Structure 1
């Protein structure tokens, strides 16, 4: 169903876009962005979300990048985030909260579905596809900002709509949420927290760049600018809270050798103080997880769990212990 933004029978401002934009383009952009005005949008959105979460969860469990890319392309969460930025640019407080509600519901549902899927899968040892989504840094924020700008322009100019698939791949939204659900089901809370930080980073980056692009393109009202300024300030303030953890992760990336040496030394001290004093044979850090191969391996499950808890407290990373004799 096509909606004319100048129609008087819906709650839309007559001048919701700059008047130097032709009415046909205004109507087209409006219908592409604010999909919740279309009939039966809920069933389509729910179906695509369920499919994308299922594909991404299975892809993560088997460490398949191709499968995860497929889930990124069909995931529907990117559109309401871009629309959220557009609503702020237009100064629509009500529409902003409606979009935020859809995003929140989709986020919680995705995590819950992935958590349930985790029950049906064998125990998942965090693999590369999971671990790389647990330690975002400033580069990820930069990617989200640039990709969000590309996505917003793609919705605005129909001839560039083909870029939307590329944006979906560049800024993963559903895979981090699936990683959260799977890791929560496995009890790996540090990894789940890292994936949540990645999702929030992408959400903030897309929202901010979308509202900025739409505002610069003239998709703004000539009055009621209060919510535009308020919403933009809130996004900036909220975004500033993630700068510190992203910067710390970026610092770790730039000094990876020193960071690995630091983790190795902390782990060595813990092992020296433990029963049988296991020796570290190999240590590998990916994301917020560290895989430590030791010998001898604790024969007591209680001691093994105690070691993991102590190592996680000392290093701040999710710890996985391996027996060198089983490699």
Structure 2
């Protein structure tokens, strides 16, 4: 059996589950944003300290891969609602990450801690064809592992292999240092990685014939919107409830 046929033998229930996980994982709610801020702060501190272990840890915390893969899913299904939703999550998360990284860098700079360009930062501002290939391979691996429950334990390894958070952190460092070369180099690496993952994910999901999962995606999106609305409403009414209890 050829490799292409392997993609077409995936069971419908596994497709349903993969779509559900991607749609839920790409919901740009408070939880998503909070984890992104924590991840990029870790990555920024790791870059400034030149500590790769911290940088690797940040990749495991960040949920940014999900909306990128969800965008590929939306393209493969021609689902404009999912495309718009996922794109906005990626853009919002990226801007938030750059701001958090810049703020973290400025804070420690004004605290009297001296930092400079090191190997960890330099690695995130030099993109090449090799990184594009890594992103493509990672996108293929992530998309395939999502529809294969037995391969789910490999997802953290894939998250480490493709660098999305470190370049965003490096952009923030460049903004804080007013360094155009760092900003441009890190931005190029980020876009190369996103493009590679997106292209691979779109191809993978197209081969899996997930076009029939549009209804599943729509149902999960509606469910997620209701959940976010409930949580936001609960959070907004909490101060009033506490005030009444005190009174």
Change beyond 3 A, Cα 1:25–1:212: same
The aligned counterpart of 1:32 is 21
Given the two structures, how large is their TM-score scaled by the length of structure 2? Answer: 0.77
The structural deviation recorded for 1:27 is 2.4
Alignment of 1:7-22 (within 5 A): 22=11
User: Which runs of 4 or more aligned residues in structure 1 lie more than 3 Å from their structure 2 counterparts after TM superposition?
Assistant: 18-23
2:44 is the alignment partner of 1:53: no
**Aligned partners of 2:131 and 2:8: how far apart in 1?**
36
Query: Residue 124 of structure 1 contacts residue 186 of structure 1 at CA under 8 Å; is this kept in 2?
Result: no
Query: Residue 107 of structure 1 contacts residue 177 of structure 1 at CA under 8 Å; is this kept in 2?
Result: yes
The aligned counterpart of 2:121 is 130
Given the two structures, how large is their TM-score scaled by the length of structure 1? Answer: 0.59
**Alignment root-mean-square deviation, CA:** 2.2
Alignment of 1:276-315 (within 5 A): none
The structural deviation recorded for 1:157 is 1.1
Number of residues paired by the alignment? Answer: 204
The aligned counterpart of 2:142 is 151
Q: Which runs of 5+ in 1 are unaligned?
A: 1-17, 224-327
Query: Residue 148 of structure 1 contacts residue 209 of structure 1 at CA under 8 Å; is this kept in 2?
Result: yes
Structure index of larger Rg:
1
1:60-109 deviation per Cα after TM superposition (whole angstroms, max 9, x unaligned): 11000000000011111011101110111111012101100000000000
**Aligned partners of 1:67 and 1:37: how far apart in 2?**
24
Query: Residue 133 of structure 1 contacts residue 198 of structure 1 at CA under 8 Å; is this kept in 2?
Result: yes
The aligned counterpart of 1:208 is 199
The aligned counterpart of 1:166 is 157
1:41-77 deviation per Cα after TM superposition (whole angstroms, max 9, x unaligned): 6122122111101111111110000000000111110
Higher RCO (CA 8 Å, separation ≥ 6 residues): 2
Name the structure with the higher strand share: 1
Q: Which runs of 5+ in 2 are unaligned?
A: 1-6, 215-247
SS in structure 1 at match of 2:29: helix
Alignment of 1:95-106 (within 5 A): 95-106=82-93
